[in-house]
Structure 1
Amino acid sequence: MDIESGTDSQLDSQTDNQTDNPIEIIYEDEHLVAINKEAGLLVHRSWLDKGETRFAMQLTRDAVGCHVFPVHRLDRPTSGVLLFSKSSAVARSLTEAFTEHKVAKQYLAVVRGFMPEKGTVDYALSFKPDAIADKFADLDKPAQEAVTHWQSLAQIELPFAVSKKHDTSRYSLMSLIPETGRKHQLRRHMRHLFHPIVGDTSYGDGRHNKFFRAQYDCTRMLLHAQMLTLDHPVTGEPLVLTAGFDDQWTRILQEFSWVDSAKA
Protein backbone atom coordinates (compact mmCIF):
# COMPACT_ATOMS: atom_id res chain seq x y z
CA MET A 1 0.00 0.00 0.00
CA ASP A 2 1.44 3.37 -1.02
CA ILE A 3 1.92 5.99 1.69
CA GLU A 4 0.62 9.09 -0.08
CA SER A 5 1.52 12.57 1.09
CA GLY A 6 -1.54 14.62 1.96
CA THR A 7 -3.81 12.35 4.04
CA ASP A 8 -6.47 14.07 6.16
CA SER A 9 -4.50 13.83 9.41
CA GLN A 10 -1.34 15.03 7.72
CA LEU A 11 -3.16 17.95 6.12
CA ASP A 12 -4.40 19.02 9.54
CA SER A 13 -0.82 18.88 10.81
CA GLN A 14 0.39 20.85 7.80
CA THR A 15 -2.11 23.62 8.48
CA ASP A 16 -0.96 23.93 12.09
CA ASN A 17 2.70 23.97 11.08
CA GLN A 18 2.16 26.59 8.39
CA THR A 19 0.42 28.83 10.90
CA ASP A 20 3.47 28.84 13.17
CA ASN A 21 6.26 28.44 10.62
CA PRO A 22 6.71 29.61 7.02
CA ILE A 23 7.52 26.16 5.67
CA GLU A 24 5.10 23.75 4.00
CA ILE A 25 5.39 20.23 5.37
CA ILE A 26 4.01 17.66 2.96
CA TYR A 27 4.94 14.51 4.90
CA GLU A 28 6.21 13.68 8.38
CA ASP A 29 6.68 10.60 10.52
CA GLU A 30 9.12 9.66 13.30
CA HIS A 31 11.94 9.10 10.80
CA LEU A 32 11.38 11.52 7.92
CA VAL A 33 10.07 14.95 7.03
CA ALA A 34 9.49 16.30 3.54
CA ILE A 35 8.77 19.91 2.67
CA ASN A 36 7.72 21.84 -0.40
CA LYS A 37 10.74 24.10 -0.75
CA GLU A 38 9.94 27.52 -2.13
CA ALA A 39 11.93 28.94 -5.04
CA GLY A 40 14.83 31.09 -3.87
CA LEU A 41 15.27 29.29 -0.54
CA LEU A 42 18.70 27.81 0.19
CA VAL A 43 18.77 24.26 1.58
CA HIS A 44 21.33 25.17 4.25
CA ARG A 45 23.85 27.85 5.17
CA SER A 46 26.48 28.57 2.56
CA TRP A 47 29.61 30.69 2.37
CA LEU A 48 28.35 31.79 -1.03
CA ASP A 49 25.35 33.59 0.47
CA LYS A 50 26.53 35.07 3.75
CA GLY A 51 23.71 37.60 3.86
CA GLU A 52 20.91 35.02 3.86
CA THR A 53 18.95 34.42 7.05
CA ARG A 54 16.36 31.82 5.92
CA PHE A 55 17.31 28.23 5.16
CA ALA A 56 15.15 25.18 4.48
CA MET A 57 17.08 23.02 6.95
CA GLN A 58 16.70 25.44 9.87
CA LEU A 59 13.06 26.25 9.10
CA THR A 60 12.23 22.54 8.93
CA ARG A 61 14.08 21.87 12.20
CA ASP A 62 12.12 24.62 13.92
CA ALA A 63 8.83 23.31 12.52
CA VAL A 64 9.29 19.70 13.66
CA GLY A 65 11.21 20.40 16.86
CA CYS A 66 14.28 18.27 16.23
CA HIS A 67 17.47 18.24 14.20
CA VAL A 68 17.08 17.20 10.57
CA PHE A 69 19.64 15.85 8.08
CA PRO A 70 19.56 16.73 4.37
CA VAL A 71 19.77 13.67 2.12
CA HIS A 72 19.68 15.35 -1.30
CA ARG A 73 19.66 18.88 -2.67
CA LEU A 74 17.61 21.25 -4.79
CA ASP A 75 19.12 24.26 -6.50
CA ARG A 76 18.19 27.55 -4.90
CA PRO A 77 15.82 28.65 -7.72
CA THR A 78 14.12 25.23 -7.89
CA SER A 79 10.99 24.56 -5.85
CA GLY A 80 9.41 21.29 -4.77
CA VAL A 81 9.91 18.13 -2.73
CA LEU A 82 12.88 18.28 -0.38
CA LEU A 83 13.42 15.32 1.94
CA PHE A 84 15.15 15.29 5.33
CA SER A 85 15.78 12.51 7.84
CA LYS A 86 15.53 12.84 11.61
CA SER A 87 18.59 10.70 12.38
CA SER A 88 22.06 10.21 10.96
CA ALA A 89 21.45 6.48 10.48
CA VAL A 90 18.37 7.04 8.33
CA ALA A 91 20.24 9.82 6.51
CA ARG A 92 22.97 7.36 5.52
CA SER A 93 20.39 4.88 4.28
CA LEU A 94 18.61 7.52 2.20
CA THR A 95 21.84 8.92 0.81
CA GLU A 96 22.74 5.43 -0.38
CA ALA A 97 19.30 5.06 -1.96
CA PHE A 98 19.79 8.29 -3.92
CA THR A 99 23.32 7.28 -4.93
CA GLU A 100 22.13 3.85 -6.11
CA HIS A 101 19.27 5.43 -8.12
CA LYS A 102 16.59 3.79 -5.97
CA VAL A 103 14.72 7.08 -5.64
CA ALA A 104 12.64 8.21 -8.62
CA LYS A 105 12.57 11.98 -9.16
CA GLN A 106 10.09 13.75 -11.39
CA TYR A 107 10.32 17.44 -12.25
CA LEU A 108 8.12 19.82 -14.21
CA ALA A 109 9.63 22.55 -16.35
CA VAL A 110 8.56 25.13 -18.89
CA VAL A 111 11.06 25.33 -21.73
CA ARG A 112 11.48 27.42 -24.84
CA GLY A 113 10.25 25.87 -28.07
CA PHE A 114 8.39 22.68 -28.98
CA MET A 115 10.17 19.49 -27.91
CA PRO A 116 9.47 15.99 -29.29
CA GLU A 117 6.91 13.91 -27.42
CA LYS A 118 9.54 11.97 -25.48
CA GLY A 119 13.20 11.18 -25.48
CA THR A 120 16.45 10.84 -23.54
CA VAL A 121 19.52 13.02 -23.42
CA ASP A 122 22.73 11.18 -22.57
CA TYR A 123 25.30 13.95 -22.35
CA ALA A 124 28.20 13.92 -19.92
CA LEU A 125 28.63 17.07 -17.84
CA SER A 126 31.89 18.60 -16.73
CA PHE A 127 32.45 19.49 -13.10
CA LYS A 128 31.08 22.95 -12.23
CA PRO A 129 32.89 24.27 -9.13
CA ASP A 130 31.50 26.91 -6.79
CA ALA A 131 33.87 29.83 -6.32
CA ILE A 132 34.25 29.28 -2.58
CA ALA A 133 32.68 25.94 -1.66
CA ASP A 134 34.83 24.08 -4.21
CA LYS A 135 37.92 26.25 -3.90
CA PHE A 136 40.24 23.27 -3.41
CA ALA A 137 38.39 20.80 -5.63
CA ASP A 138 40.06 18.95 -8.46
CA LEU A 139 39.18 21.02 -11.52
CA ASP A 140 40.59 18.41 -13.92
CA LYS A 141 37.87 15.84 -13.23
CA PRO A 142 36.64 14.09 -16.38
CA ALA A 143 33.08 14.80 -17.49
CA GLN A 144 30.57 12.69 -15.55
CA GLU A 145 27.87 10.57 -17.13
CA ALA A 146 24.52 12.38 -17.05
CA VAL A 147 21.20 11.02 -18.32
CA THR A 148 17.81 12.73 -18.37
CA HIS A 149 14.53 11.35 -19.71
CA TRP A 150 11.82 13.74 -20.85
CA GLN A 151 8.19 13.75 -21.91
CA SER A 152 6.33 16.67 -23.47
CA LEU A 153 3.04 17.18 -21.62
CA ALA A 154 1.63 20.27 -23.37
CA GLN A 155 2.60 23.00 -25.81
CA ILE A 156 1.53 26.52 -26.62
CA GLU A 157 2.27 29.06 -29.32
CA LEU A 158 1.88 32.70 -28.27
CA PRO A 159 1.34 35.68 -30.59
CA PHE A 160 4.43 37.49 -29.30
CA ALA A 161 7.68 38.05 -31.19
CA VAL A 162 10.12 37.50 -28.35
CA SER A 163 12.84 36.66 -30.86
CA LYS A 164 13.39 38.81 -33.94
CA LYS A 165 13.57 35.63 -36.02
CA HIS A 166 9.96 34.58 -35.31
CA ASP A 167 6.56 36.29 -35.18
CA THR A 168 5.34 33.95 -32.46
CA SER A 169 6.88 32.22 -29.44
CA ARG A 170 6.56 28.55 -28.54
CA TYR A 171 6.82 26.88 -25.15
CA SER A 172 6.51 23.32 -23.83
CA LEU A 173 5.51 21.91 -20.46
CA MET A 174 7.93 19.09 -19.76
CA SER A 175 8.19 16.17 -17.39
CA LEU A 176 11.90 15.67 -16.66
CA ILE A 177 13.20 12.52 -14.98
CA PRO A 178 16.93 12.56 -14.14
CA GLU A 179 18.56 9.14 -14.09
CA THR A 180 21.74 10.64 -12.63
CA GLY A 181 22.17 13.54 -10.21
CA ARG A 182 24.80 15.92 -11.54
CA LYS A 183 25.00 19.56 -10.54
CA HIS A 184 22.47 21.66 -12.50
CA GLN A 185 21.85 18.59 -14.66
CA LEU A 186 18.34 19.40 -15.87
CA ARG A 187 19.17 23.03 -16.54
CA ARG A 188 22.35 22.19 -18.45
CA HIS A 189 20.73 19.36 -20.41
CA MET A 190 17.85 21.57 -21.53
CA ARG A 191 20.32 24.21 -22.68
CA HIS A 192 22.31 21.51 -24.51
CA LEU A 193 19.12 20.60 -26.41
CA PHE A 194 18.51 24.30 -27.23
CA HIS A 195 15.35 24.29 -25.14
CA PRO A 196 16.41 26.22 -22.01
CA ILE A 197 14.18 26.42 -18.97
CA VAL A 198 12.24 29.67 -18.73
CA GLY A 199 13.51 31.89 -15.92
CA ASP A 200 16.93 30.25 -15.69
CA THR A 201 19.34 33.16 -15.36
CA SER A 202 22.45 30.94 -15.59
CA TYR A 203 21.64 28.65 -18.52
CA GLY A 204 18.52 30.19 -20.02
CA ASP A 205 17.56 32.76 -22.66
CA GLY A 206 17.40 36.30 -21.29
CA ARG A 207 14.85 37.44 -23.87
CA HIS A 208 12.31 34.83 -22.86
CA ASN A 209 13.01 35.35 -19.15
CA LYS A 210 12.34 39.07 -19.60
CA PHE A 211 9.14 38.35 -21.55
CA PHE A 212 7.74 36.12 -18.80
CA ARG A 213 8.58 38.75 -16.17
CA ALA A 214 6.84 41.51 -18.11
CA GLN A 215 3.88 39.57 -19.48
CA TYR A 216 3.10 37.15 -16.63
CA ASP A 217 4.86 38.68 -13.61
CA CYS A 218 6.93 35.48 -13.43
CA THR A 219 10.14 36.23 -11.57
CA ARG A 220 11.28 32.67 -10.87
CA MET A 221 12.79 29.76 -12.77
CA LEU A 222 10.04 27.41 -13.93
CA LEU A 223 11.54 24.17 -12.62
CA HIS A 224 9.65 22.28 -9.91
CA ALA A 225 10.51 18.99 -8.17
CA GLN A 226 6.99 17.61 -8.31
CA MET A 227 7.42 14.06 -7.02
CA LEU A 228 9.76 11.71 -5.16
CA THR A 229 9.03 7.98 -5.12
CA LEU A 230 11.00 5.66 -2.85
CA ASP A 231 10.78 2.82 -0.39
CA HIS A 232 10.60 4.03 3.20
CA PRO A 233 14.10 3.49 4.66
CA VAL A 234 12.72 1.97 7.88
CA THR A 235 9.36 0.34 7.07
CA GLY A 236 10.14 -0.56 3.47
CA GLU A 237 6.71 0.60 2.31
CA PRO A 238 6.38 2.56 -0.96
CA LEU A 239 6.39 6.28 -0.28
CA VAL A 240 5.10 8.84 -2.78
CA LEU A 241 5.78 12.50 -1.99
CA THR A 242 4.23 15.24 -4.12
CA ALA A 243 4.55 19.02 -3.95
CA GLY A 244 2.00 21.55 -5.17
CA PHE A 245 2.65 24.74 -7.11
CA ASP A 246 3.24 28.27 -5.91
CA ASP A 247 1.29 31.30 -7.17
CA GLN A 248 3.57 31.98 -10.12
CA TRP A 249 3.49 28.41 -11.38
CA THR A 250 -0.28 28.29 -10.88
CA ARG A 251 -0.74 31.51 -12.84
CA ILE A 252 1.26 30.17 -15.81
CA LEU A 253 -0.57 26.82 -15.79
CA GLN A 254 -3.94 28.57 -15.74
CA GLU A 255 -2.97 31.14 -18.38
CA PHE A 256 -1.79 28.40 -20.75
CA SER A 257 -4.62 25.93 -19.89
CA TRP A 258 -2.05 23.45 -18.64
CA VAL A 259 -3.55 22.69 -15.22
CA ASP A 260 -4.71 19.16 -16.09
CA SER A 261 -1.50 18.38 -18.00
CA ALA A 262 0.60 19.28 -14.96
CA LYS A 263 -1.11 16.87 -12.56
CA ALA A 264 1.22 14.26 -11.09
Structure 2
Amino acid sequence: MTHNFICLSCSIMETSISYLAQDPIFEWEKPFDTDVPVDHIPRARAANHKNDEREVTVFPIIDATQWDLEKHGFCFIKATTGLTAEDALTRKEEVQKDYWYEIEALLHQRFPQYSRIECYDCTVRKRDPDFPANIRLYAKVEQPARRPHSDCSPRGAHLNLDHAFPGQQEFWQGKDFDILNVWRPLRGPNNDWPLAMCDWTTINPLTDIRVNDAIRRDRVDENAILHYNEKHRWYFMRDQSVEDLIVFRNADSMGKRAQGFHCAIFNPEANGQLRESVEVRCVAFR
Protein backbone atom coordinates (compact mmCIF):
# COMPACT_ATOMS: atom_id res chain seq x y z
CA MET A 1 0.00 0.00 0.00
CA THR A 2 1.22 3.53 -0.77
CA HIS A 3 0.29 6.74 0.97
CA ASN A 4 0.72 9.19 -1.92
CA PHE A 5 -3.00 9.91 -2.21
CA ILE A 6 -2.99 12.60 0.51
CA CYS A 7 -3.82 16.07 -0.86
CA LEU A 8 -4.06 19.54 0.65
CA SER A 9 -7.85 19.48 0.53
CA CYS A 10 -7.89 16.46 2.86
CA SER A 11 -7.06 18.68 5.87
CA ILE A 12 -3.95 17.12 7.32
CA MET A 13 -3.35 18.00 10.96
CA GLU A 14 -0.26 19.68 12.39
CA THR A 15 0.03 18.89 16.08
CA SER A 16 2.47 17.47 18.62
CA ILE A 17 2.98 14.05 20.19
CA SER A 18 4.57 13.36 23.60
CA TYR A 19 7.00 10.57 22.83
CA LEU A 20 9.15 8.87 25.46
CA ALA A 21 12.60 10.46 25.52
CA GLN A 22 15.68 8.36 24.92
CA ASP A 23 17.11 8.70 28.44
CA PRO A 24 20.43 7.20 29.64
CA ILE A 25 18.63 6.08 32.83
CA PHE A 26 17.16 3.20 30.82
CA GLU A 27 20.62 1.65 30.62
CA TRP A 28 20.26 0.57 34.26
CA GLU A 29 16.60 1.12 35.11
CA LYS A 30 13.51 -0.22 33.36
CA PRO A 31 10.95 2.41 32.38
CA PHE A 32 7.95 2.57 34.72
CA ASP A 33 4.95 4.67 35.54
CA THR A 34 2.05 4.41 37.94
CA ASP A 35 -1.48 5.71 38.32
CA VAL A 36 -1.23 5.29 42.10
CA PRO A 37 -0.59 8.49 44.16
CA VAL A 38 2.94 8.37 45.65
CA ASP A 39 3.37 11.90 47.04
CA HIS A 40 3.10 10.60 50.60
CA ILE A 41 5.97 8.11 50.14
CA PRO A 42 9.49 9.52 50.77
CA ARG A 43 11.69 9.52 47.62
CA ALA A 44 9.02 7.70 45.61
CA ARG A 45 8.61 8.54 41.92
CA ALA A 46 5.43 8.22 39.91
CA ALA A 47 7.48 7.57 36.76
CA ASN A 48 11.01 7.70 35.39
CA HIS A 49 9.87 9.06 32.03
CA LYS A 50 10.94 12.25 30.29
CA ASN A 51 8.87 13.78 27.51
CA ASP A 52 10.14 14.14 23.97
CA GLU A 53 7.55 16.52 22.52
CA ARG A 54 7.64 16.42 18.72
CA GLU A 55 5.80 18.37 16.07
CA VAL A 56 4.14 15.88 13.72
CA THR A 57 1.88 15.77 10.72
CA VAL A 58 -1.13 13.51 11.16
CA PHE A 59 -2.90 12.38 8.00
CA PRO A 60 -6.65 11.78 7.70
CA ILE A 61 -8.02 8.37 6.85
CA ILE A 62 -9.25 8.64 3.27
CA ASP A 63 -10.30 5.06 2.53
CA ALA A 64 -10.89 3.05 5.70
CA THR A 65 -10.95 -0.23 3.75
CA GLN A 66 -7.26 0.06 2.83
CA TRP A 67 -6.00 -0.54 6.35
CA ASP A 68 -5.13 -4.10 7.32
CA LEU A 69 -4.75 -5.42 10.87
CA GLU A 70 -2.02 -7.88 9.89
CA LYS A 71 0.08 -5.33 7.99
CA HIS A 72 -0.57 -1.98 9.64
CA GLY A 73 -1.56 -3.07 13.16
CA PHE A 74 -5.04 -1.56 12.90
CA CYS A 75 -8.14 -1.49 10.71
CA PHE A 76 -11.72 -0.23 10.74
CA ILE A 77 -15.15 -1.80 11.06
CA LYS A 78 -18.35 0.04 10.20
CA ALA A 79 -21.06 -1.23 12.56
CA THR A 80 -23.97 -0.16 14.72
CA THR A 81 -23.73 -1.17 18.37
CA GLY A 82 -26.21 -0.80 21.19
CA LEU A 83 -24.14 0.87 23.93
CA THR A 84 -25.27 4.45 24.52
CA ALA A 85 -23.14 7.22 25.97
CA GLU A 86 -25.49 7.59 28.92
CA ASP A 87 -25.30 3.90 29.84
CA ALA A 88 -21.52 3.75 29.36
CA LEU A 89 -20.98 6.75 31.61
CA THR A 90 -23.47 5.89 34.35
CA ARG A 91 -24.08 2.11 34.23
CA LYS A 92 -20.91 0.62 32.76
CA GLU A 93 -20.74 -2.42 35.03
CA GLU A 94 -24.36 -3.30 34.26
CA VAL A 95 -24.19 -2.98 30.48
CA GLN A 96 -20.64 -3.88 29.51
CA LYS A 97 -21.22 -7.61 29.08
CA ASP A 98 -23.93 -7.05 26.48
CA TYR A 99 -21.54 -4.74 24.66
CA TRP A 100 -18.80 -7.38 24.88
CA TYR A 101 -21.08 -9.91 23.19
CA GLU A 102 -21.76 -7.46 20.36
CA ILE A 103 -18.05 -6.81 19.86
CA GLU A 104 -17.18 -10.51 19.94
CA ALA A 105 -19.77 -11.22 17.23
CA LEU A 106 -18.47 -8.38 15.04
CA LEU A 107 -14.88 -9.58 15.37
CA HIS A 108 -15.78 -13.19 14.57
CA GLN A 109 -17.55 -12.00 11.44
CA ARG A 110 -14.64 -9.83 10.30
CA PHE A 111 -11.75 -12.11 11.34
CA PRO A 112 -12.51 -15.79 10.67
CA GLN A 113 -8.93 -16.72 11.57
CA TYR A 114 -9.89 -16.49 15.25
CA SER A 115 -11.43 -19.61 16.77
CA ARG A 116 -12.39 -17.99 20.07
CA ILE A 117 -12.73 -14.37 21.20
CA GLU A 118 -13.42 -13.19 24.74
CA CYS A 119 -13.68 -9.59 25.91
CA TYR A 120 -12.38 -8.88 29.39
CA ASP A 121 -12.02 -5.14 29.86
CA CYS A 122 -14.03 -2.01 29.13
CA THR A 123 -12.67 1.51 29.57
CA VAL A 124 -14.78 4.64 29.28
CA ARG A 125 -13.20 8.06 28.88
CA LYS A 126 -14.69 11.55 29.17
CA ARG A 127 -12.33 14.43 28.73
CA ASP A 128 -12.22 17.04 31.47
CA PRO A 129 -12.33 20.63 30.18
CA ASP A 130 -8.94 21.28 31.82
CA PHE A 131 -7.21 18.23 30.34
CA PRO A 132 -4.26 17.98 29.77
CA ALA A 133 -3.30 20.82 32.11
CA ASN A 134 -4.69 18.88 35.07
CA ILE A 135 -4.67 15.07 34.92
CA ARG A 136 -6.38 13.61 37.96
CA LEU A 137 -5.40 10.24 39.35
CA TYR A 138 -8.23 7.75 39.74
CA ALA A 139 -10.84 10.05 38.26
CA LYS A 140 -14.23 8.41 37.95
CA VAL A 141 -13.80 8.38 34.19
CA GLU A 142 -10.36 8.08 32.60
CA GLN A 143 -8.76 10.78 30.47
CA PRO A 144 -7.23 10.49 26.99
CA ALA A 145 -3.71 9.00 26.85
CA ARG A 146 -1.16 11.33 25.19
CA ARG A 147 1.87 9.04 25.22
CA PRO A 148 2.11 6.83 22.09
CA HIS A 149 1.88 3.28 23.35
CA SER A 150 0.57 -0.22 22.99
CA ASP A 151 -1.56 -1.37 25.92
CA CYS A 152 0.54 -4.47 26.54
CA SER A 153 3.77 -6.17 25.52
CA PRO A 154 3.86 -9.89 24.66
CA ARG A 155 4.66 -10.57 28.33
CA GLY A 156 1.98 -8.06 29.33
CA ALA A 157 -0.52 -10.02 27.24
CA HIS A 158 -0.06 -12.98 29.57
CA LEU A 159 -0.20 -10.72 32.63
CA ASN A 160 -3.51 -9.31 31.34
CA LEU A 161 -5.02 -12.78 31.12
CA ASP A 162 -3.63 -13.81 34.51
CA HIS A 163 -5.54 -10.89 36.01
CA ALA A 164 -8.71 -11.20 33.94
CA PHE A 165 -9.05 -15.00 34.18
CA PRO A 166 -7.36 -16.07 37.44
CA GLY A 167 -6.63 -19.76 37.81
CA GLN A 168 -7.28 -20.53 34.14
CA GLN A 169 -3.71 -20.38 32.82
CA GLU A 170 -3.99 -23.78 31.12
CA PHE A 171 -6.39 -22.24 28.60
CA TRP A 172 -3.81 -19.80 27.18
CA GLN A 173 -0.34 -20.95 28.13
CA GLY A 174 1.49 -22.01 24.98
CA LYS A 175 -1.41 -20.83 22.79
CA ASP A 176 -1.26 -18.42 19.87
CA PHE A 177 -3.42 -15.41 20.66
CA ASP A 178 -3.74 -11.66 20.09
CA ILE A 179 -4.83 -8.92 22.46
CA LEU A 180 -7.14 -6.63 20.47
CA ASN A 181 -8.77 -3.31 21.27
CA VAL A 182 -11.97 -1.99 19.73
CA TRP A 183 -12.24 1.81 20.14
CA ARG A 184 -14.96 4.27 19.19
CA PRO A 185 -16.41 7.59 20.31
CA LEU A 186 -19.54 7.50 22.42
CA ARG A 187 -20.88 10.60 20.70
CA GLY A 188 -20.13 11.71 17.20
CA PRO A 189 -18.95 13.13 15.02
CA ASN A 190 -15.86 13.43 17.20
CA ASN A 191 -12.84 15.64 16.47
CA ASP A 192 -11.83 16.44 20.06
CA TRP A 193 -8.57 14.69 21.02
CA PRO A 194 -9.11 11.95 18.41
CA LEU A 195 -7.26 8.66 18.55
CA ALA A 196 -4.26 8.61 16.22
CA MET A 197 -2.76 5.34 14.93
CA CYS A 198 0.85 4.83 13.85
CA ASP A 199 1.32 2.71 10.72
CA TRP A 200 3.29 -0.36 11.88
CA THR A 201 5.22 -0.45 8.60
CA THR A 202 6.89 2.84 9.61
CA ILE A 203 8.03 1.64 13.06
CA ASN A 204 11.45 0.09 13.70
CA PRO A 205 10.79 -2.42 16.52
CA LEU A 206 14.49 -2.64 17.41
CA THR A 207 14.98 1.05 18.12
CA ASP A 208 11.56 2.66 18.56
CA ILE A 209 9.86 0.45 21.17
CA ARG A 210 10.57 0.48 24.90
CA VAL A 211 8.94 -2.05 27.26
CA ASN A 212 7.49 -0.37 30.36
CA ASP A 213 6.25 -1.47 33.79
CA ALA A 214 2.75 -0.07 34.35
CA ILE A 215 2.26 -0.13 38.11
CA ARG A 216 -1.34 -0.41 39.24
CA ARG A 217 -2.82 -0.44 42.72
CA ASP A 218 -3.19 -4.24 42.72
CA ARG A 219 -0.67 -5.47 40.16
CA VAL A 220 2.11 -4.63 37.70
CA ASP A 221 1.32 -4.75 33.98
CA GLU A 222 3.80 -4.44 31.15
CA ASN A 223 3.10 -2.29 28.12
CA ALA A 224 5.18 -0.72 25.35
CA ILE A 225 5.97 2.93 24.60
CA LEU A 226 7.32 4.61 21.48
CA HIS A 227 10.47 6.68 21.02
CA TYR A 228 10.46 9.24 18.25
CA ASN A 229 11.39 8.28 14.73
CA GLU A 230 10.98 10.75 11.88
CA LYS A 231 9.78 7.90 9.66
CA HIS A 232 6.63 7.35 11.73
CA ARG A 233 3.39 8.03 9.86
CA TRP A 234 0.35 8.90 11.95
CA TYR A 235 -3.32 8.74 10.89
CA PHE A 236 -6.69 9.70 12.36
CA MET A 237 -10.33 9.58 11.34
CA ARG A 238 -11.83 13.04 10.97
CA ASP A 239 -15.46 13.35 12.13
CA GLN A 240 -15.37 9.83 13.56
CA SER A 241 -18.89 8.57 14.21
CA VAL A 242 -20.13 6.09 16.80
CA GLU A 243 -20.32 3.53 13.97
CA ASP A 244 -16.63 3.88 13.05
CA LEU A 245 -14.83 1.26 15.12
CA ILE A 246 -11.04 1.19 15.21
CA VAL A 247 -9.65 -2.32 15.79
CA PHE A 248 -5.98 -2.60 16.70
CA ARG A 249 -3.64 -5.24 18.05
CA ASN A 250 -1.83 -4.40 21.26
CA ALA A 251 0.35 -7.49 21.22
CA ASP A 252 0.35 -11.18 20.43
CA SER A 253 1.53 -14.06 22.59
CA MET A 254 4.43 -14.84 20.24
CA GLY A 255 5.63 -11.26 19.79
CA LYS A 256 5.72 -11.51 15.99
CA ARG A 257 2.77 -9.51 14.60
CA ALA A 258 2.02 -5.90 13.79
CA GLN A 259 1.06 -3.75 16.78
CA GLY A 260 -1.25 -0.77 16.85
CA PHE A 261 0.66 1.98 18.64
CA HIS A 262 -1.72 4.82 19.37
CA CYS A 263 -2.33 7.99 21.36
CA ALA A 264 -4.78 10.84 21.73
CA ILE A 265 -3.78 13.98 19.84
CA PHE A 266 -4.71 17.61 20.25
CA ASN A 267 -6.72 18.81 17.28
CA PRO A 268 -6.24 22.59 16.92
CA GLU A 269 -9.38 22.78 14.74
CA ALA A 270 -11.73 20.94 17.13
CA ASN A 271 -14.83 22.98 17.91
CA GLY A 272 -17.39 20.40 19.02
CA GLN A 273 -18.16 18.52 22.20
CA LEU A 274 -15.49 17.16 24.50
CA ARG A 275 -14.45 13.62 23.63
CA GLU A 276 -16.30 10.70 25.18
CA SER A 277 -15.11 7.25 24.11
CA VAL A 278 -15.31 3.57 24.92
CA GLU A 279 -12.77 0.84 24.26
CA VAL A 280 -13.00 -2.90 24.78
CA ARG A 281 -10.02 -5.18 25.18
CA CYS A 282 -10.28 -8.84 24.21
CA VAL A 283 -8.22 -11.99 23.71
CA ALA A 284 -8.53 -13.63 20.28
CA PHE A 285 -7.22 -17.21 19.90
CA ARG A 286 -6.07 -18.55 16.55
Q: Normalising by structure 1, what TM-score?
A: 0.28
Structure with greater proportional strand content: 2
Q: Which has the higher contact order (CA 8 A, sep 6+)?
A: 2
TM-score of the two chains, using structure 2 as the length reference: 0.27
